Amino acid sequence: MFMDKVTIARDAAEDVWRESRLLDDPPAGLLALLAWEEDGQVTAVSLWESAADRGQAAADRMLPLFERGVLGERHGSPHPVEAVRVHLRP
């Protein structure tokens, strides 16, 4: 299992989700995405089956958006976090 986290402005998060189709057409390996807003910032945690699945989704979905200038620095840079406890109902 692999988990990452990013904290960005709400409008930037909406851009990422819309442009990447992350929620409308989830990529292989995405198990869960939890996001919440606090003080105008959205923190999103993604849970993946593996780091390789996360890397493939980044290459397939995010990199092309950065290359086309659709996404930029304000859209954040997710970083890995270590899960202490995870429970998903089967």
pLDDT at 35: 96
Give the mean model confidence (pLDDT) for residues 32-59: 94
In a domain, 86, yes or no: no
CATH code, domain with 30: 3.30.70.100
Domain assignment present for residue 7? The answer is yes
Report how many domains make up the chain. 1
Task: Please report whether residue 26 resides in a domain.
Answer: yes
In a domain, 60, yes or no: yes
Q: Name the average pLDDT for the chain.
A: 89
Mean pLDDT of all residues in 2-14: 90
More confident residue, 2 or 87: 2
pLDDT score, position 66:
86
DSSP secondary structure letter of residue 27: P
Domain with 62 in it = 2-81
- 38-59 as b/e: b if 16+ CB within 10 A: eeeebebbbbbeeeebbeebee
Looking at the domain assignment, is residue 27 inside a domain?
Answer: yes
Strands 2-9 and 30-38: unpaired
Residue 13 lies in a domain: yes
Q: Rounded distance, CA 28 to CA 66, Å?
A: 21
Does the residue 21 lie in any domain? yes
Is there a domain that residue 54 lies in?
yes
60-78, pLDDT tens digit by residue?
A: 998 988 888 878 777 777 8
Which pLDDT score, from 0 to 100, does residue 55 have?
Answer: 93
pLDDT for residue 69: 82
